[in-house]
């Protein structure tokens, strides 16, 4: 039931990571004076944000696993 939302969150994290890296590379290759500073800040804060998002996904997966494990234990108890 939650699997489509978890997959969507993982796809958003991958897309965010690709977008951050792509934008940083474009800024590093730019001729503007402040582009290197902007690219570095983008990489630092962007990767921190993606890391936070991935941590949230991991917590959701772990909670869902524990919930399904509890339901499975109840079902085996009633079926026996």
> What is the model's pLDDT at position 34?
82
**In total, how many domains does the chain have?**
1
> What is this structure's pTM?
0.68
C-alpha 14/C-alpha 50 separation (Å) is 8
Across the range 20-27, mean pLDDT stands at 91
- Which residues form the domain of 11? 3-79
> Bigger pLDDT: 48 or 69?
48
> What is the model's pLDDT at position 1?
60
- pLDDT band at residue 2 under the 50/70/90 scheme: low
Residue 15 has pLDDT above 90, yes or no: yes
- pLDDT band at residue 80 under the 50/70/90 scheme: low
C-alpha 40/C-alpha 72 separation (Å) is 48
């Amino acid at each position: 039931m939650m699997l489509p939302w978890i997959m969507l969150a993982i796809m958003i994290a991958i897309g965010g990571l690709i977008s951050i890296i792509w934008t940083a590379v474009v800024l590093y290759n730019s001729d503007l004076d402040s582009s290197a500073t902007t690219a570095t800040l983008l990489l630092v804060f962007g990767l921190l944000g993606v890391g936070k998002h991935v941590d949230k996904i991991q917590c959701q997966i772990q909670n869902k696993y524990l919930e399904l494990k509890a339901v499975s234990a109840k079902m085996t108890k009633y079926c026996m």
